[in-house]
Amino acid sequence: MARTAVLGRLTWLVGRVTATRQETASARTLTLDVPGWTGHRPGQHVDIRLTAADGYSTERSYSIASTWTGTSIELGIQVLSDGEVSPYLGQVLSVGDSLELRGPVGGHFVWDPGDPRPVLLVAGGSGLVPLMAMLRTRIATGVLTPMTLLVSARSPQSLLYAAELAALSGAHPGLAVTVRYSREGPTDEVMGRWDRDAFARLTASVAGQTDCFVCGPTGFVEAIIGHLVATGHDPSRIKAERFGGSQ
């Protein structure tokens, strides 16, 4: 489904901030109540529009981290030092404030909990946000679809949803979570990048049957796709979301 076609049926809504939660020093979760919200699929995002007093307006896209629960949604905000929108959302916006948003957007990078095929999720940095919606939806719906989440973070301090991921690992049948740190980690065993050898060890046995979702910076995503294809994963079953530049 083309993005332009999706947007053609959407109108701008007004969401009110009902809660904020600091995830790391530079990232937080915004919980919004959005009257008129008709639901979303795990993996979709919204467009947010900010308008200044002088009429200047700008838009940015942010992934939805939550499963569908009425008119409430959670957005993951990673603050970029040179960003135009993210510093306001991540540092200034408070409970009770309102935002203009449009969504849900996206029909390609979505997971259907009714699909029984095994799922591999690979996240780099804040690319974890839409994958959390998939993981949370699996738990909320009670499906037993085999799901593996592989996360790459620079350090434990930069890992989003750290406490939640630690609690989930091993707590649900068929759900596995593994984190690796590229710059600083508590032990040597969790240091390193997700390379071809790692995918060969972890996923080769189900490579031809697995739906893969990869999200992160462009360079990370391209490298991961190469590793997946090299270890036997079907390119037609690899879906990717890339991001880069200022927000």
Q: What does pLDDT average to over the chain? A: 89
Does CATH place domain 3-105 in 3.40.50.10490?
Answer: no
Helix residue ranges, H only, 102-204:
128-141, 162-168, 196-203
21 closest CA partner among 101, 104, 64, 77? 77
List strand residue ranges (DSSP E) for the chain, in order. Answer: 13-24, 27-33, 45-51, 57-63, 72-78, 98-105, 119-124, 147-153, 175-181, 211-217, 238-243
Q: Do domains 3-105 and 119-243 have the same CATH topology?
A: no
Q: Which residues lie below 8 Å from residue 2, measured CB to CB, with a gap of 6+?
A: 107
CA distances from 191 to 171, 172, 185, 214, 226 (A): 23, 25, 6, 20, 21
Distance CA 161, CA 168 (A): 11
The confidence band for 193, taking pLDDT boundaries of 50, 70 and 90, is confident
| Confidence class for position 247, pLDDT limits 50, 70, 90 | low
pLDDT digits (tens, 9 = 90+) for 17-32: 999 999 999 999 999 9
Among 5-9, 34-38, 54-58, 167-171, which is the least confidently predicted range? 5-9
User: Could you give the CA distance from residue 67 to residue 90 in angstroms, rounded to a whole number?
Assistant: 21
- Contact yes or no for 98/88 (Cβ under 8 A): no
* Predicted TM-score of the model (pTM): 0.91
R_g (Cα) of the chain, nearest Å: 18
Each domain of the chain, given as residue ranges in start order, spans 3-105, 119-243
Antiparallel, parallel or unpaired: β 57-63 and 45-51: antiparallel
Rounded to 5 degrees, what angle do the CA atoms 205, 240, 198 make?
35
Q: What is the pLDDT of residue 246?
A: 45
pLDDT of 190 > 90? The answer is no
CATH class in words for 119-243: alpha beta
Q: In the prediction, which pLDDT does 169 show?
A: 74
Express each pLDDT in 145-160 by its tens digit: 999 999 999 999 999 9
Residue 5 pLDDT: 38
- What pLDDT does residue 183 have? 77
Task: Name the band, by pLDDT with cuts 50, 70 and 90, for residue 198.
Answer: confident
**Tens-place pLDDT, residues 89-103:** 999 999 999 999 999
pLDDT, one tens digit per residue, over 42-89 is: 999 999 999 988 889 999 999 999 999 899 999 999 998 888 899 999
